[in-house]
């Protein structure tokens, strides 16, 4: 699965490292806060444009070993852009490039790779205590995931298994709220985002879900920071043509440590892992840790 990602990854990093005009102000100067931020947690200012690329590797096993187990492994690269046309508004788009392998208990295997579903969103900052370098920020988010992934088919033209497909084939709205607090070397984030999937490929509909994040970040120097978060996902069971799946639905929590580093002005690198530590999903769903690396650049 490495080959499909090599060229896009090199291109994405090269684009992000291209320097902007020498006349522009750095993002820290424009927003008045030196906190290193990952994509989606930046402070707003009019005209801010941020590009990012995030690599993830993850998987899970659903079902009983040697009976009906299905093992999914995925590597994906999300390419994202966020632009602030107004001091209080961010418009964002994210497009994933994915590679998947699915293996069932009989050792039959399917593979697929390509572009996934595009997600577009708008984030409005509805409260900040100061116009410049605010200590408190409250934002609301609205968006939608669109069915842009192509349908994957076998050599005889039949559709590959649902788990192998890179998209859901559905239009899925989402909405959320977030609070951020900045205090010296520390910053804090609390957020919740709800997803309401519609019915898509082969009659499948993912369960409605709420994803939450609680995180604290300590930045002892201008170039690096450490972040510790707790990510949770509460979801209803998925169904196919109204028949609920036996595995899935419930609550899952991850411990999420990250390290952020800025080797140059307006460039932020981060690496981390999401480790599942509390699994209350129905049936047997065994998730792997999620390895992550990202680069973000302000133009």
Q: Nearest 10 degrees: CA dihedral of 137, 251, 168, 110?
A: 130
Q: What pLDDT is recorded for position 32?
A: 59
CA dihedral 137, 118, 197, 284 (to 10 degrees): -100
pLDDT in tens, 67-99: 788 999 999 999 999 999 999 999 999 999 999
- Report how far apart the first and last C-alpha atoms of the chain are (Å, whole number): 31
Residue 30 has a pLDDT of 72
172-183 and 136-145: which strand pairing? antiparallel
């899970």: which residue's tokens?
Answer: 60
Q: Is the pTM of this model over 0.75?
A: yes
What is the sign of the dihedral through the CA atoms of 25, 53, 89 and 130? negative
What's the pLDDT score for residue 10? 44
Cα 157 to Cα 160: distance, rounded to the nearest angstrom: 9
For the chain, residues with pLDDT lower than 70 are 1-25, 28, 32-33, 39
* pLDDT, position 23: 39
Percent of the chain with pLDDT over 90: 73
Do 268 and 260 form a contact (C-beta atoms < 8 A)? Answer: yes
The span from the CA of 77 to the CA of 86, in Å, is: 28
What's the pLDDT tens digit per position in 260-298? 999 999 999 999 999 999 999 999 999 999 999 999 999
Strand-pair partners of 110:
102
> What residue ranges define each of the domains in the chain, with the CATH number in brackets?
3-298 (2.40.160.40)
Q: Do the Cβ atoms of 27 and 298 come closer than 8 Å?
A: yes
């Amino acid at each position: 699965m490495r080959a499909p990602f090599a060229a896009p990854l090199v291109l994405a990093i090269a684009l992000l490292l291209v320097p902007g005009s020498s006349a522009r102000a750095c993002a820290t100067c424009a927003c008045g806060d030196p906190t290193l931020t990952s994509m989606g947690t930046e402070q707003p200012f009019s005209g801010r444009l941020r590009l990012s690329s995030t690599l993830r590797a993850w998987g899970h096993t659903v079902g009983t070993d040697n009976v009906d187990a299905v093992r999914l492994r995925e590597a994906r690269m999300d390419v994202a852009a966020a632009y602030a046309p107004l001091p209080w508004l961010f418009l964002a788009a994210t497009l994933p490039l994915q590679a998947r392998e699915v293996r069932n208990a009989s050792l039959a295997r399917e593979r697929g790779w390509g572009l996934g579903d595009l997600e577009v969103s708008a984030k409005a900052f509805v409260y900040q205590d100061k116009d410049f370098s605010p200590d408190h920020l409250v934002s609301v988010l609205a968006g939608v995931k669109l069915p842009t992934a192509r349908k994957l088919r076998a050599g005889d033209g039949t559709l590959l298994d649902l788990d192998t497909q890179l998209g859901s084939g559905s239009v899925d709205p989402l909405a959320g709220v977030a609070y951020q607090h900045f205090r010296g070397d520390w910053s804090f984030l609390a957020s919740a985002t709800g997803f309401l999937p519609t019915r898509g490929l082969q009659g499948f509909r993912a369960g409605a879900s709420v994803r939450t994040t609680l995180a604290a970040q300590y930045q002892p120097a201008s170039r690096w920071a450490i972040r510790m978060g707790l990510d949770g996902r509460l979801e209803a069971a998925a169904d196919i043509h109204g028949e609920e799946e036996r595995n899935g639905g419930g609550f899952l929590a991850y411990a999420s440590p990250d390290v952020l580093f800025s080797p140059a002005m307006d460039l932020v690198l981060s690496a981390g892992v999401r480790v599942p530590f509390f699994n209350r999903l129905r049936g047997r769903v065994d998730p792997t840790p999620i390895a992550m690396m990202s680069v973000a650049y302000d133009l």
